[in-house]
Amino acid sequence: MKTIYSEKIVRIIKARKKLEELLKVKIIFKGKKIEISGSAENEYIAEKVIEAINMGFPIKEAIKIKTEEKEFDVLKIKNYTKRKDLRTIRARIIGKRGKALKTFSQLTECCFELKNNEVGIIGDPENIENAIEGIVSIIKGTHHSHVYKGLEKHKPQPISDFGLKDKGQQ
């Protein structure tokens, strides 16, 4: 049985039945505490989904951790900088009118959420690595254009040929 403390308890209560069905766990509420019981694997995935919801992700996006086997990661901004002015760093990550975050999302095919001094990322395992590198570069002060070029350059290419066809059939 896992125990999680949640600030977004109302959102989880509203989606309780859907979460229990999909994640195959039992969810019990005790104040701001959430207890999850089920198989070890299901508890782990449910914990990740609830952490994503707490981070601010929409429930529809958080559920993709289970349904589409996406990965969820949290970066603590303080771990990558010695600067005390974290507000400026958060502003760099977001960009003017959210443009930088939107560009990150398009280039990495990941979803991002900022909460306090943490950045939450949901995406495919092969894309999430590039997303983390890009966010860390921005935190460290790299120009946005350099980070975008790096993300475009290292974007994983989809596999279109599995080698199953004869060369003559194409």
Cα(150)–Cα(130) distance, integer angstroms:
9
Q: What is the pTM of this model?
A: 0.83
Domain of residue 9: give its range.
Answer: 2-67
Clarify whether residues 76 and 141 are in a common domain: yes
Task: Check which CATH number belongs to the domain holding 51 and give it.
Answer: 3.30.1370.10
Mean pLDDT of 57-76: 92
**Residue 80: predicted pLDDT:** 92
Which residue type sits at 131?
Answer: A
The interaxial angle of helices 99-108 and 125-140, nearest 10 deg, is 150
Clarify whether residues 146 and 86 are in a common domain: yes
Which residue type sits at 112?
Answer: F
167 inside domain = no
Clarify whether residues 97 and 124 are in a common domain: yes
The pLDDT confidence band at residue 163, using thresholds 50, 70 and 90, is low
The pLDDT confidence band at residue 69, using thresholds 50, 70 and 90, is confident
Clarify whether residues 59 and 25 are in a common domain: yes
125 contacts 71 by C-beta, under 8 angstroms: yes
161 inside domain = no
Of 52, 67, 82, the residue that ends a domain is: 67
164 inside domain = no
CA 145 to chain centre: 23
